[in-house]
Amino acid sequence: MPILYSGGSIVKALAQMIVGFVVAKFVSPGDFGLWATINLALTYSLFVQSGLINGLNRELPYLFGKGENDEALLMAGTVQTFTLVSSIAVLILAIPFLFLVPFETHEMTYGMFAIVLIIILNYYQNYLFSTFRSKDSFLQLSKLQFIHAFVNIVTLLFVVYFSYYGMVIKAVTVSLVYVFLLHIYRPIKVGLVWNKAAFFKLIKVGLPIFSLAYIESIASTADRLLIIKYSTVTDVGLYSFGFYALSSFTIFPSSIASYIYPKMTYNYGKTHDKMIMWRYVKKVTVILLLVLTPLAVIGYFVCPILIDYFFPDYAASSHIMQILLFAGVFSGAVIGVNALWSMKMWKYMIIYQLLFSILLIVCPFVGIHLFEDKLAGISYGILIAYLINFISGISLTYFATHSKE
């Protein structure tokens, strides 16, 4: 099962890498930077779901592990209802904004319309994704990832023919198709039910997790906000292209985490054995380091050659990509820290998340002021942030799993 699921994740990651390079071939750094800036709204919009998805991610496998299936289904139905209502509310609020606010360019206008649609689709996608928690559902999800990769590649035709506008159309199309498939093959099919007790239980569990993750998500936008403040939107495009090195490296580990996290939580709900959790952490950390490190070394030497030859407009991104390849190694290899969430070790979770959030703000800020090349300075800051986070994450997980709490 992990091999098949990983195969789908690898194909999805490779497709995303191809997409990134093709988009750069047909979209200027300025337009690419504009779309990257608009996409920041996707991160900020997550507060609407109020931690319900985080709570469901944790409680579903835990309840299945305990054999309390009816309560698990009740929680899923409640979150589904809330997701529908919140999506409608966002659409109602967005419509007057989209039609009444005079945007500076047509590119920005189309981008804003697109991001509203993507935000709404993303809400439902987050819910659906959280319901894939059993062995059979992971098998189905792995197949959907192959289809997602295929659609991601095929829709590049939009970019080839319509440049920036094609990139926007492609983003909406891929999101729409993937959410449609997740809906059709969703493993938990419940109606629009509402249970106040289930809602508040999920809030109680999920809000602390969400709050910490949301702080980190906001902090993760600091690098691009710093570039906007101290440089130009074009530089945001150059940096975002280089950032593909990090984001592509995290697709595979993130997919593995979405498999390992519910499995760890299920076993913890069944045994409450912390040492089982630590064995999971050790194994996945070593495997990811062994896989990602040589890929980063190869990429370090290959990426500048490919960029200079195929993407001369993004030549300034070469050094950024080289730096962020290794940030991707540390980002991917720390996924074992999910054990803290499985065990609800709040003290360690808070330390980990807040420290990482501070690092994501402070390190790029220091880097952009230390280096004459602002993009390189921010990139080195991100690398240092992820390195320290890797060390602290593994250390905190060790202390948590070996504590007597």
222-242: pLDDT as tens digits? 999 999 999 888 999 999 999
Ordered by start, the domain boundaries in the chain are 1-207, 220-405
Cα 107 from Cα 102, distance rounded (Å): 12
By mean pLDDT, which of 180-189, 243-252, 339-348, 394-403 is the weakest? 243-252
pLDDT-based confidence at 31, cuts 50/70/90? Answer: very high
C-alpha Rg value of the chain to the nearest Å: 21
Q: Write down how long the chain is.
A: 405
pLDDT tens digits, one per residue of 287-318: 999 989 999 999 999 989 988 888 888 999 99
* Of 332, 330, 320, 308, residue with least CA distance to 368: 320
What percent of the chain has pLDDT above 70?
95
Dihedral angle over CA of 21, 24, 29, 35, nearest 10: -90
pLDDT-based confidence at 405, cuts 50/70/90? Answer: low
Q: What is the pTM of this model?
A: 0.75
Residue 272: what pLDDT? 79
Higher pLDDT: 341 or 109? It is 109
pLDDT-based confidence at 187, cuts 50/70/90? Answer: confident
pLDDT-based confidence at 343, cuts 50/70/90? Answer: confident
Q: Is the dihedral of CA 262, 248, 183, 217 positive or negative?
A: positive
* Of 224, 156, 216, residue with least CA distance to 19: 156
Residue 8: what pLDDT? 64
Residue 318: what pLDDT? 93
What average pLDDT does the segment 246-268 reach?
75
Is the predicted pLDDT of residue 4 greater than 80, yes or no? Answer: no
pLDDT tens digits, one per residue of 75-123: 999 999 999 999 999 999 998 888 888 888 899 999 999 999 999 999 9
Higher pLDDT: 152 or 405? It is 152
Let me know the angle formed at the C-alpha of 239 by 238 and 244, rounded to the nearest 5 degrees: 105
Residue 46: what pLDDT? 81
Cα 278 from Cα 285, distance rounded (Å): 11
Cα 95 from Cα 108, distance rounded (Å): 15
* pLDDT mean across residues, the chain: 87
pLDDT-based confidence at 24, cuts 50/70/90? Answer: confident
What percent of the chain has pLDDT above 90?
46
